[in-house]
Amino acid sequence: MCRQSLRLLGGQGAIVAQVLRVDFVDMKMSSNLIDGHREDLQAAHSAADAAIEAAQAGWVGQSALALQEKLLELQGVTHHANNECDHHSTAITAISDKFQKIDEQEAIEIIRTRRSI
């Protein structure tokens, strides 16, 4: 173990196991909440895009070009934000599922051990 790690552990040189508690329902609810935010974001940004596109008809020349470039930039931001929300939602669900599976397997092992005694 490096000295930096020892300092982070209070210089004791021993690692104390920490209890990790995972609430699968809370994780699923968090994932669903992120999905809801993504849907709200998409709806709001789609409405804004439509408003910009409707306004473009009255613009000409460099102004019209600048407005079109800005619209494309904003659509890129929307796409990125949607991807980030999707990534986080999917990751939280996958982690929750994995912990739930581990928890279920441990419960099965405890029952098997108890029955074998």
Sign of CA dihedral 109, 110, 111, 115: positive
- Give 10-21 as a DSSP string: TT---PPP----
Q: What is the pTM of this model?
A: 0.71
Sign of CA dihedral 72, 73, 74, 76: positive
Domain locations in the chain as residue ranges: 23-116
Q: Judge: domain 23-116, CATH 1.10.287.
A: yes
pLDDT in tens, 74-110: 999 999 999 999 999 999 999 999 999 998 999 899 9
pLDDT at 22: 82
Neighbours of 31 (CB within 10 A): 19
In whole angstroms, what is the distance from residue 100 CA to residue 112 CA? 18
